[in-house]
Structures are given as C-alpha cells and as structure tokens.
Structure 1
Amino acid sequence: MSQKYNHSREWIQEKIHNYTFEIKSRKPREVSLVIDATFFGKRGDKFGLIAAKDVELKEIVAYNFIESETKEIYLDLITQIYAKGFQIKGVVLDGKPGIFSLFKETPIQMCHFHMKAIISRKLTKNPKLQPSIELKRIASHLGSISACRFEYMLSSWFKRHKEFLDEKITDESKRGWHYKHKRLRSAYRSLIHFLPYLFTYQKAPHLNLPTTTNLLDGGCFSPLKDLLKVHRGVSKKMKRKMIVYFLENR
C-alpha cells in the first residue's frame, strides 16, 4: 500500500487508525434472535464478542466485547436490546448454564448442534455400550423427527435400560456407593433437562426460529476469525475496530 499510494508506512497506518465509519441505527421491532458468544485467539487473551442476530433480516441488532462468558454478560446484552426499542419474541441459545432463566417469558429454542455435542462429550464419539449407542442415535435424530416421536423414543429407551442405569458400585464414601454408568446417566439427564426447549421451532413455527446458532457461528463468527487471522499482527484496539466495521456492514 505504501508503494501504491506513494506514502510512508506510518502515514498509511495513521490513516487506517483514524478512519471513522457510521454506526448504523437499527429500526426497533419485534425480533426472533440468535444469541451467542465467541472468543478470538486463546481464552486467556480475554478477547471475545457476544452478539444478537435477527433471524428474519439477518441483521446484527446488538453486540458487546467481553472478557468472559457469564450470565451477567448476557443480561447486559438483553438490556441493551430492550433499550434500543426491540421486543424479543423468540431466541435460539446454546445451553450455557443459567442463561435460560433470563428469558422466562420468551420462547427458547435449544441449539441442536450444541445438544448433540453435549451428548458426544458425555458418551464419546464412538460409545461401546449398547444403551449409550442407542441414546446417541436418538439424539442424532434431532431436527428430523417430531417432538412426539422423540419423546416416545427417549421414554422407551429409559424403560428398557432403567435397571442398567441404576447399577451401583460400592465405595468408601459416606453414602457407600456410586452409580456405575455416571456419564450415561448424565447424558440422559441433559436430554431431559433441555427437552422443553428442543422443539420450540415446531411448537411455535410463526417465530421462524432456526434449530442451531449457525446464523452467528458460521455466518458471522467464522468469517470474523478468518479476517483476524489474516491481520494477526495488528493491535487489539485495531482488531476491535475491524470487528465493529464488520458487524456494522453485515
């Protein structure tokens, strides 16, 4: 660029750093949102972003830079959204602990991708035990079957394997025992816990809620990370400016 514009490198850098652009105002309205957070670089860098994207217009309606992902971070974003005049009619979330309680009056869709990832973490990608194989297969049907069918499959699985789930091993703890298949029990409990939120997209089709957070993960966060990789040598201040420009022009 220095050769192209016949100016020094320092002059080019100064122009880039001093460049200003318009922060767009969004028209207040009722919105169905995908809300998620991500981090750039290593977690220890404490350089992250939380954003809310309108499902219908594919527009970023609010965002904040963050150092960690907490319940308070989500509350701050929600407060910002309402302060701008938006009304949240539905939301897609990834299941972070404590976040759902912030949307008590709002229909919530649990991200199917993250639900399947939770099950894979608990059962591994290639489980060996038959009950684990069956439960993972049931979870894999998310997005392709009805809520009624899924609940029936989950209930039938539990009835077939209840004795297996209740198997115990004696130990020297105060209780004197622990469950033999703790990870399998945990995977099942996760599905039961999120079950009320897995089929909101079917029960409230007028909200047009997607079944995953990919509208942000793939449609925003991934290209942002690619952009920052290309410019990995710039300062954090400049990275923030690049991110804001990117978000304001999506």
Structure 2
Amino acid sequence: MNIPRCEVCGLVMTRYGYTSRGTQRWRCRACGVSRVGRIDNTAKLLERFLKWLTSGELQKNMPGAGRTFRRKNERLWQLWPFCPVVDEVHPVVFVDGLHLGRQAVVLIACTNEHVLGWYVARSENSRAWGALMSRIAPPDVVVTDGSGGFEKARRQHWPDTSVQRCVFHVFMNLTTATTRHPRLPASQELRQLALALLKAKTPQSARQWIRDYMDWLRRWEAFLAQRTATPNGTLEYTHARLVKARNSTNKILADKRLFTFLDDEWDITMPSTNNRIEGAINAPLRQMLRDHRGMSLTRRIKAIFWWCYMHSPNPLPPAQLLKTFPTDSDIENTYHHARQHHQTATSIPQWGDAIVWAEIHHTTPYTNRWD
C-alpha cells in the first residue's frame, strides 16, 4: 500500500482513523497536518483515453452515448505530447506533411519501424522543416516528395544526407500533365515514359530511362516552346502543363535525386518511394480523424501528436507521461513569461510552433502569419 507523505514537511504520515464514509485518514506527527488518502486513477484514464483515440471505437456506442467518457477525459485533452530528441543514426528516414485543410500541417519523420518526430506549422516551409530536422540525427538517405522549403532546411541541418525524390510522386506529376488518356503525341510519349519510370529498378534500366527522356526533350523542344497570346497581350506557353512537368523533371535529374536508391555506395536496399509514410502513417492518421470527426483543430493536432508518440521508439507509461508532458496552462505561462522578459526580441520562444498558441488560442481581427 502506498503511504502518503506530508505536503508541508514531506515526512511519512500515519493512520489517523476513518471518515464518516469509511475513508482512511492520515496525519503528520511532525506538523499535525491531516488529509484523506484518495486513489489517483488519472494514469488509468489516460491509458483508456489513448486506447480509444488510436482505435475505431466510437463514443456513440459507449454507455450513455459517451457523456461520462467525455467528462472524465476532458482534462486529458490539456496535455501536449512532444517528440523526443533522436540521437540514433538511421540509414533511411521518410518525411512528409499531413495537411489539416488550409489551417495547419503536421510534418512527420519516420523509419520503417517507428515515428521519429513531428512538428506542426502553418505551412511547409524551411523554418518548420528545420525545427523537425534539428531533433533527429542526420540519416544516410531521406525520402521526400519535394515539399516546399525542405531542401533549404536539409542543406542547413542535414548537409551530408542524400535525397531520394519519391518516384511515385514524380510519376503522378507527369500524369497530371499528360492525363491518363492523352491525345497529343507529345503527351502520349511522356505518358509512356511515366509508366516506364515505375519499372526502372536497376542501374541499366535507369540509364535507359534517362536516355529515352532526353530523346523526348530533343524531339519535342520546338513543340514545347510554342507560345500563345493572352487577351491582356502577354505570351504564355501553349502547353503549360507539359512545360511545367518538363522543368520539374529536369531539375530532379540535374540534382541527381531521381535514382539515388540505385547508387553503389549503399550496403542495403534503399527505397525509391515514400509509400512507407503514406501507407503506414498518413493513412491510419486520416482514418483516426475520420473515426473521431468533429474535433476542433487543436484536438486534431493533439490526436495526431498522441498517435505519433505512441508509435515512437520508446513511449513512456501513462503515469510517467502525466509527469513529463506540459499542459495548456504550462505552455500559456511559458509564453507570457517569455513575452514579458523578451519585449525587444524579434521572436518569442515557445513550445512547438506559433500555430499552436498564437494562431489557435489568440483571436484578433488581424492576420498574424508567423511562417
């Protein structure tokens, strides 16, 4: 049995009879303070809360349509789960952003086994990506879909890490330009190149694909250079979607990031796509948000944070989580304390990103874009 300690002097208390309801009373012999021993079941409630959040269980199927469940777990929504610092070097890290409409995006980094880090921001930019990368040891290869601001952050935080552009995303970019049933001869040939890209799994097939693509560029150079006059008198590319696909593919090839997974320097088989994070991370997260739809933006962000933390390498037990993670009040006090002591600073140190507090909890008639 756990014997309580005095809240005043910290000494062990002794039994001091019972209350009228039969509850054990305790008393400190040193200072005379008495108290009633109560069992703290918050850890059990948190365990039940996380089990519900990461499953498809619906509140409407609970006793009382979930009213008791919501009342007991209201205080647990105050916790903010944050990602730990990852010192272990992994050979491959997958990164991607999960957008919550146009209001926020959660940047996630993972391996084949665990989620390594997560970060919430207004948009995918170098500042947000840098905050995520700074807490993770640089891997050998990072697989990305080429999100905005990622390359700038990588050069700063992971300068020696090789980049593999997701081949499937490149394929989809080409498909967007050509459509699935193209009519123009140039689009038909580019469509065939896009399909062949998914089958380029060896160095020989990769080199052949690059040669075929270069032949396509030379053959349709004049066709892609055609321009059309607009009503306001400016000239625009007649086949703008094909030109956009050409430019993006040329940049990827120039940076040598399309077939990084086929380099000879790797001792293991490197992935060519971002399917791991799309299928094993983003898909379950979207399903969780659908199962528990109707939550506010803050709670959707926290739900994603909790899911990522429970799939991190070494999640703590619920009792330890209650002592480790800060609450909304803790973050608000830290924010106001920093604002009072850094009036002349250009930015205010705070938990997470400004989106968490300034954008969600501070409503003004003026636009405030920290990112």
TM-score interval for Structure 1 and Structure 2 normalised by the shorter chain: 0.7 to 0.9
- Gap change, CA 1:135 and 1:21, over 3 Å in 2: closer
Residue 69 of structure 1 and its aligned partner are, at CA, apart by: 2.0
SS at match of 1:197: coil
- Look up the match of 1:198: 258
Aligned match of 2:166 = 111
The RMSD of aligned alpha carbons is: 3.1
Query: Are 1:151 and 2:210 an aligned pair?
Result: yes
Aligned AA for 2:140? K
Aligned to 1:180: 238
**Is the alpha carbon distance of 1:179 and 1:237 closer, same or farther for their aligned partners in structure 2, counting shifts above 3 Å?**
closer
* Distance verdict in 2 for CA 1:98–1:147, change over 3 Å: farther
Shift of 1:189: 1.7
Q: Is the 8 A contact 1:111 1:213 kept in 2?
A: yes
TM-score under structure 2 length normalisation: 0.56
What is the SS of the residue equivalent to 2:143? strand
Equivalent in 51, 71, 92 of residue 14 of structure 1: 71
State yes or no: 1:120 paired with 2:180: no
Gap change, CA 1:229 and 1:22, over 3 Å in 2 = closer
SS in structure 1 of the partner of residue 117 of structure 2: strand
What are the equivalent positions in structure 2 for 1:59-78 lying under 5 Å apart?
Answer: 59-78=114-133
SS of residue in 2 equivalent to 1:198: coil
Does the Cα contact within 8 Å between 1:90 and 1:207 map onto a contact in 2? Answer: no
Residue 278 of structure 2 aligns with which residue?
A: 217
Distance (whole Å) between structure 2 residues aligned to residue 229 and residue 147 of structure 1: 40
1:165-186 C-alpha deviation (Å, 9 max, x unpaired): 3344467888x85543333222
Q: Which has the higher contact order (CA 8 A, sep 6+)?
A: 1
Give unmatched runs, 5+ long, in structure 1.
none
Alignment: residue pair count? 239
* Structure 1 equivalent of residue 95 of structure 2: 35
Counterpart Cα distance in 1 of 2:267 and 2:224: 39
Code of the residue aligned with 1:224 in structure 2: it is L
Distance in 1, matches of 2:280 and 2:207, equals 31
Deviation string 1:6-38 (CA, Å, 9 cap, x unpaired) is x99554223323457997857621122111001
4+ residue stretches of structure 1 with deviation over 3 A? 1-5, 7-11, 17-27, 166-174, 176-180, 204-209, 234-241
Q: In structure 1, what is the equivalent of residue 39 of structure 2?
A: none
For the Cα contact (< 8 Å) 2:126–2:152, is it kept in 1?
no
Larger radius of gyration: 2
| Distance in 2 (alpha carbons) for counterparts of 1:155 and 1:8 | 62
AA partner of residue 223 (structure 1): P
The structure whose residues are more often helix, as a share, is 1
